[in-house]
Amino acid sequence: EEGPESRVQSPESRSKTQDPGLKTQDSGPRTQDFREPHHDTVGVLALDAAGTLAGGCSTSGFPLKLPGRVGDSPIIGHGLYAHPQHGAAVATGNGELVMGTCLTFLAVELMRQGRKPNEALHACMQRLEESFRLEEHHQVGMIALTPQGDWAQASVREGYRTAVRHAACDDLIDAR
């Protein structure tokens, strides 16, 4: 099912709405309009040939945060969780939604209980919808990966892409 119309911009449309009046620190050609709802923590999951899982995320791509705000990214079980036997998950988007549902822990716990990554992430999206009154600007995207190499992505609405790389694939895949 498609969600309501998204106000979260795609990377392409973002670059078209750059405000030449607001320069980044190096005052080079890159500019950004901070009036737009930007966020997007980068989350990475990896699996080596020996079956070892690893995960990482940036410390939050959410600009102009309230002083003292700690987002979901640095908190294990919220923005990132990995278990050597059961799988790993990362989340990006509105951290308050992720933190209110312990979302990556939930994804890995569901995989521990036997759900496949796509089933676990589907359940996570349902949990978000049950737990919050989601508004048009709300967005959460997730990736999950098992030690066997099964993986899935899901998001509340369109706008995220997952870069996938393994022996048979080197691609950018749209979420939803």
Residues of this chain that interact with ligand ASP (CB under 6 A) are 39-41, 60-62, 71-73, 79, 92-95
DSSP 3-state of 124: helix
Q: Which is nearer to ligand ASP, 81 or 147 (CB)?
A: 81
Give CA–CA dist 18/26, Å, rounded.
16
Q: Which residue has the tokens 């990554």?
A: 117
Q: How far is the CB of 116 from ligand ASP (least distance, A)?
A: 25
Q: How far is the CB of 137 from ligand ASP (least distance, A)?
A: 12
Please tell me what DSSP assigns to residue 149: S
Q: Which is nearer to ligand ASP, 3 or 100 (CB)?
A: 100
Measuring CA to CA, how many Å separate 85 from each of 17, 60, 119, 142? Answer: 44, 27, 18, 19
Q: How far is the CB of 126 from ligand ASP (least distance, A)?
A: 20
Q: CB neighbours of 165 closer than 8 A, spacing ≥ 6?
A: 171
Give CA–CA dist 166/168, Å, rounded.
6
Q: Which is nearer to ligand ASP, 71 or 159 (CB)?
A: 71
Q: How far is the CB of 163 from ligand ASP (least distance, A)?
A: 16
Give CA–CA dist 51/158, Å, rounded.
31
Strand bridging mode 53-57 / 43-47: antiparallel
**Residue 41 bears catalytic tag:** yes
Give CA–CA dist 27/124, Å, rounded.
41
Q: Which is nearer to ligand ASP, 8 or 147 (CB)?
A: 8
Catalytic residues: 41
